[in-house]
Amino acid sequence: MTVVAPDETPLAQQRQQRLRLWLLLAPGALWLFFFFVLPLLIVMLYSFATPGPTGNVIWQFNFDSYITLVGKDLYFNAYYRSLWVGIQTTVICLLVGYPLALYMTLAEPKQRNLLLFLVLIPFWTNFLVRTYAWMIILSNNGLINDLLQMLGFAKQLLYPSAGAVLVGLIYGNLPFMVLPLYASLARFDFTLMEASADLGAGRWRSFWRIMFPLTVPGVVAGSVLVFIPTVGQFVVSDLLGGSKVDLLGNLLQRLFTRSNPPNWPLGSALALVFMFVLTVIVIIYFRTTTEEDR
Amino acid sequence: MTNASAVVLQQVTKRFQNVTAVDAIDLDIRDGEFFSMLGPSGCGKTTTLRMIAGFEFPSSGVISLAGAQVEKIPAHLRNVNTVFQSYALFPHMTVAENIAFGLEMKNVPRADIKPRVDAALAMVQLSNYGTRRPKQLSGGQQQRVALARALVNRPKVLLLDEPLGALDLKLRKEMQIELKRLQQEVGITFIYVTHDQEEALTMSDRIAVMNQGKLLQVGSPTEIYERPSSRFVADFIGEANFIDGHVIDIGAPYCTVRASNGLELQGILQGATTVGAAVTIAIRPEKLRLTVQSPDNVSTLAAKVEQVVYIGSDTRLTVRLSDTITLDVWEQNNRSTLDRDAYWQRGEQGFVTWNPDNALILTA
Amino acid sequence: MIDVPVPASRPPSDTRSTIGRRLLGLNAWLTYIFLYAPIVILVLFSFTTDTFGVRWTGFTLDWYVRLARDTRMINATINTLWVALVATIISTVCGTLLALAMERYRFRGRNGMDALLYLPIVIPEIVMALALLAFFSFAFGLLESLTGIKLRMNIWTVIISHVAFCISFVVVVVRASLKGFDMRLEEAGADLGADPQTIFWRITLPLIMPGVIGGALLAFTLSLDDFIISFFTVGPGTNLLPVEVYGRVKRAITPSINAISTIMLLVSMTLVFLSQFVQRQRD
């Protein structure tokens, strides 16, 4: 990287290089080790411990928490519901987000920047605030109910409900789907669509054979960015679902802070299995979608 | 070569917002012809090509392919294929898959696709490259794949949009010959868009010169070079000397023009004009001779050598006729190598002379 | 975080409004309405006289005035800003150094480090939050049993946790700006007699500065907006804005929350403008 000065031995220089690398790496690497890796290891430790009667933890190690997880429908159902909500949110975001990203790409440059900016603002805005906005709209005396009454319908209990949770999740995550898709589409060479048409493919066929396969990286990135936070969240389901929608995140929150008494070992096991399941799903998704066209 | 028309354009115009990219063009491209559209960038040649392909639709006018009117038919339903400037090979497909794509879209039976793809690969000498991805090929090879992908469909017309633009000079020359060979082999009409006059002259049966959306001249390479119809064409293709003046006598075969400095010159009139009209005389530098003694000829003018550039085969001289007029003269170096006085020196006096057949009086 | 390029090629100029095009446009406009209607309504209802804050009954600035007197909320805001500021500084420094190490050096364990850096981004936030909660309680318990010193979670545990997840994002942004960095500029610096320190301060850092600022802005926004990790790692004695808002929202919708939400929205918008501006400077 640098030119060796004649009076410097390569060894001394090598040592200096190593020192420099160590100084660059150390602060961040140590921080991540102590406050990211170590915490995960400790969660693992907790998951094998025994819950005490007052919410404390007794350091007797066994597989009880994992056995409880497998044995009770409550936990299996929470996994199932959370993954299902995650899939629904991801698919709807993709169905709405892909055409939107395409529309942005096809717009005139000036208009395109504005459209992009309009997606960036919610992207950077507090999730809590955006969820809260839906509480206002859907509330019992809120706008939608006013509208329903104006049209001659009866008032509906719009939230808390599973539907409200889904709307809130789509609303919160849509920008995370649109941006990677846009990034992918902006890199796409539209001459390829002309080439495809030139060779006799109609628009629909050109889309499925050319544009979609070549923008799969954006689809994968967007889906992962939407799916993971959706499956793990508890704010939206707590605020818009109330006690009616019990997802994994809500369960975890209760096990650690509220249930009487808290059960940290079980919560730790639940979190670890959750992380494991999610990782497996994401890896399978990556493999199947990127295998043929690397 | 038959005389049937492959492509006919009638009064084709294309406007983008308030810019007229192509302005009322009429063209008749014959079956089996190698036809080039030549012009500077932005002259409308690529837009014209894209309208024939079906990527753009004319604002007005009629386009016919093999006798059928097509200007409102989208690209995927037209029996023409394009070789793109950037090649536009599908990066996620192999070379063979790229070539098979068009046949698949036309629902050619699977059993027929493979032999046709193999034949197309053989035609462009890439038989062993079928399983590669476009990215693993060189620019020249990608170019051949693009050609094979288009030709395998046996289109009525093949459109080529500056296909050699991205290649280096040596490869470009090779591909020019290769393209011409292929065209004669398959007998398909080629419409070739380029801004490179040499490329157009080398390959074409006929050339259309365009500028600012207008069609200026259509003709064989010789016609375009030897008998340009306008100053723009004379200037764009090859090099030319221009002398401005006005007509003082219209005769046959020669007309007489008085140049701005008072000299009277003779030449062949291109187009129609009237006495007194402003015109330009164009003479190619290789048609001029510089002699020591004045031959007894009307088209002779005294000149002083201002600049001498020796380039091996030729010597390129700039000579001054008057305060306002200089001419470029290309002298072929065909004299004895022992003749020490064979070369002009700067500052020497001489006489420029030419055959009035080669002086073209241009009205545009 | 996501590198958004300018479209590489001219989109097709065939602008006939086919049915497909119209549907694209319709979808786009409906989506933008979906994205913005709630935000507009939220802002509007921070000025309503309706005490439930869910319908329009007249204009008032009352809720903002009340907010200005709400010491709990002001305290939470100051705490949140302080956390974001400190976390941003630490994570930007650590992240920039890490990015330099990752882009410039080949060393053993580099691939492992690469994976480790991506983990905090892809791991569910709640898992990270619970892990940090478990870690602090474990570490404090250990400390107490060994030395008798009693520690509790406070604002510093939040800062430590925020840094832990912000570092990765800073690294991603700074690495992207280092990728386009012309190494010959450093060689030119060396050729002109600058030592490595001078080269770093006078050539490298100024050139990657837009990336560093971009990373810092992202870290600041993430820290400001974070709820889940703050919720689990903040002690009972400390008040943070998102946690406070969450607590109040759980109880009831009030126009005061509309008002504080509007202010948070304004801050976010300012940050978007800033980050876009920085990105323009970079191009």
User: Could you report the per-residue pLDDT of C19-36, keeping only the tens digit for each?
Assistant: 888 899 999 999 999 999
Per-residue pLDDT for A170 more than 90?
Answer: yes
Per-residue pLDDT for B174 more than 80?
Answer: yes
Per-residue pLDDT for C7 more than 70?
Answer: no
**What number of C-beta contacts closer than 8 Å exist between A and C?**
269
Structure confidence at residue A167 as a pLDDT band (50, 70, 90) = very high
Measured between CB atoms, which of A116, A189, A194 is closest to C8? A189
Write out the DSSP string of A244-264: T---HHHHHHIIIIISSS--H
Structure confidence at residue B1 as a pLDDT band (50, 70, 90) = very low
| Sheet of B349-353, strand order | B289-291, B349-353, B300-310, B314-320, B326-332
Structure confidence at residue C1 as a pLDDT band (50, 70, 90) = very low
Residue B196's φ and ψ, nearest 5 degrees, are -100, 105
Interface mutation target, options B56, B94, B99, B101, chain A, most CBs of A under 10 Å: B101
Note whether B56 contacts C16, CB cutoff 8 Å: no
Residue B150's φ and ψ, nearest 5 degrees, are -80, -45
Per-residue pLDDT for A17 more than 90?
Answer: no
Mean pLDDT of chain A: 87
Residues in chain B: 364
Closest listed residue to residue A105, CA positions, set A52, A181, A42:
A181
Per-residue pLDDT for C2 more than 70?
Answer: no
Task: Count Cα neighbours of C231 within 13 Å in the Cβ-side half-sphere.
Answer: 25
B268-280 confidence digits (pLDDT tens): 988 888 888 899 9
Per-residue pLDDT for A4 more than 80?
Answer: no
- Name the one residue in this structure whose structure tokens are 């919720």: C231
Span C127-154, mean pLDDT?
90
pLDDT for the residue numbered C188: 86
Least confident residue range of A78-82, B110-114, C4-8: C4-8
Per-residue pLDDT for C15 more than 70?
Answer: no
Structure confidence at residue C282 as a pLDDT band (50, 70, 90) = low
Per-residue pLDDT for B109 more than 50?
Answer: yes
What whole-number distance in Å separates Cα of residue B206 and Cα of residue C132? Answer: 77
Q: Which residues in C lie closer than 8 A to residue A21 (C-beta atoms)?
A: 101, 105, 107
**Residues B156, B70 contacting (CB under 8 angstroms):** no
Q: Report the amino acid identity of residue B157.
A: V
Torsion sign, CA atoms A186, A192, A197, A203: negative
Span B148-170, mean pLDDT?
91
pLDDT for the residue numbered B129: 94
Question: What is the percentage of chain C residues whose pLDDT exceeds 70?
Answer: 93
Per-residue pLDDT for A103 more than 90?
Answer: yes
Helix H or strand E encompassing C143: helix C125-147
Span B68-88, mean pLDDT?
92
pLDDT for the residue numbered A8: 56
Note whether C13 contacts B16, CB cutoff 8 Å: yes
Structure confidence at residue C193 as a pLDDT band (50, 70, 90) = confident
pLDDT for the residue numbered B62: 95
pLDDT for the residue numbered C78: 94
B90-105 confidence digits (pLDDT tens): 999 999 999 999 999 9
> How far apart are the CA of A70 and the nearest CA of chain C, in angstroms?
19
What whole-number distance in Å separates Cα of residue C185 and Cα of residue A127? Answer: 42
Rg (C-alpha) for chain A, rounded Å, is 25
C92-108 confidence digits (pLDDT tens): 999 999 999 998 888 88
Q: Which residues in C lie closer than 8 A to residue A249 (C-beta atoms)?
A: 126
Closest listed residue to residue C254, CA positions, set C105, C51, C92, C56:
C51
Structure confidence at residue C181 as a pLDDT band (50, 70, 90) = confident
Interface mutation target, options C9, C10, C14, C18, chain B, most CBs of B under 10 Å: C14
Interface mutation target, options A8, A22, A24, A243, chain C, most CBs of C under 10 Å: A24
Span C199-221, mean pLDDT?
88
Q: Which residues of A267-285 are buried (b: 16+ CB within 10 A; e: fewer)?
A: bbbbbbbbbeebeebbeee
Least confident residue range of A49-58, A222-231, B88-97, B325-334: A49-58
Q: Which residues in B lie closer than 8 A to residue C14 (C-beta atoms)?
A: 55-57
- Any alpha helices (H) in A48-190, and if so which ranges? 64-71, 73-106, 109-124, 127-138, 143-150, 162-187
Structure confidence at residue A158 as a pLDDT band (50, 70, 90) = confident
Span C55-75, mean pLDDT?
89
Per-residue pLDDT for A291 more than 50?
Answer: yes
pLDDT for the residue numbered B218: 96
**Residues B47, B22 contacting (CB under 8 angstroms):** yes
C46-59 confidence digits (pLDDT tens): 998 888 878 888 88
> How far apart are the CA of A207 and the nearest CA of chain B, in angstroms?
13
pLDDT for the residue numbered C11: 46
pLDDT for the residue numbered C17: 54
Structure confidence at residue A61 as a pLDDT band (50, 70, 90) = confident
Note whether C130 contacts A268, CB cutoff 8 Å: yes
Q: Check if C71 contacts B (Cβ < 8 Å).
A: no
Span B287-297, mean pLDDT?
83
C208-218 confidence digits (pLDDT tens): 888 899 899 99
pLDDT for the residue numbered A105: 92
Helix H or strand E encompassing B215: strand B214-219
Q: Check if A108 contacts B (Cβ < 8 Å).
A: no
pLDDT for the residue numbered C252: 81
Least confident residue range of A77-86, A190-199, C1-10: C1-10
Return the residue of B nearest to A199 by Cα.
Answer: B102
Return the residue of C nearest to A23 by Cα.
Answer: C97
> How far apart are the CA of B106 and the nearest CA of chain A, in angstroms?
7
Q: Check if B82 contacts A (Cβ < 8 Å).
A: yes
Q: Tell me the sheet residues that pair with B326.
A: B320
pLDDT for the residue numbered A100: 96
Mean pLDDT of chain C: 86
Residues 243-272 (A) with a CB less than 8 A from some CB of C: 249, 252-253, 256-257, 264, 267-268, 271-272
Write out the DSSP string of A176-235: HHHHHHHHHHHHS-THHHHHHHHTT--HHHHIIIIIHHHTHHHHHHHHHHHHHHHHH--H
Alpha-carbon separation of residue B157 from B76, B187, C92 (angstroms): 14, 10, 60
Per-residue pLDDT for C18 more than 90?
Answer: no
- Out of B119-128, C118-127, C247-256, the most confident range is B119-128
Structure confidence at residue C158 as a pLDDT band (50, 70, 90) = very high
What whole-number distance in Å separates Cα of residue A123 and Cα of residue C133? Answer: 27
